[in-house]
Amino acid sequence: MKKITEADWDRLIQEVRSDDVLYAKRIFWNKSDEEIMDAFESGFAFIERCDELRFMPPELFNYYYHYFPEFVARDNYDSSDTPGVASCFIQLLEEKLEDHSFYYEELLVLANNTLDFILDNIDRFNTDPEIYGDFLPRIKALKHGIQHYPITRH
């Protein structure tokens, strides 16, 4: 995977002309892995990080996506946030699969492993189906989508 440079960020910010991407640069660019993980783990910040990933152009998304599955698997969030974490992750994955935003198979493997983590802990994640819906059919559909996803770039 190509390393993202500041020039890449600046070029993409100019191309998409989005304040969301400009803001994401402040969160992700030139930060250590721990700084980025801390940005996911502070309160409800995971919702904002999810939105930043959602609005990133695919080049940036593919570079920074791995932090979200890592955040989910670290399980370092309040138990009351567990359904919200799963909902954000599942919704982002649904959108990015539909948009064909994934360029690398290893990211799909990571997504699939994270879905397995959620399934293995479904009693903790699927506690508010009246708010978030039932995750089980969505996860099943996502796993099928991942299995049949066409990787067109490397």
pLDDT per position as a tens digit, 75-134: 999 889 999 999 999 999 999 999 999 999 999 999 999 999 999 999 999 999 999 999
pLDDT, tens digit (0-9, with 9 covering 90-100), for 82-91: 999 999 999 9
Structure pTM?
Answer: 0.93
Describe the crossing of helices 33-41 and 67-74 by its angle, rounded to 10 degrees.
Answer: 60
Q: Which domain holds residue 108?
A: 6-147
Q: Is residue 76 part of a domain?
A: yes
Domain contains 128: yes
The CA-based angle 92-96-97, given to 5 degrees, is 115
Tally of domains within the chain: 1
Determine, yes or no, domain membership for 153: no
Count of Cβ atoms closer than 10 Å to residue 20 Cβ? 13
Task: Give a yes or no: residue 93 inside a domain.
Answer: yes
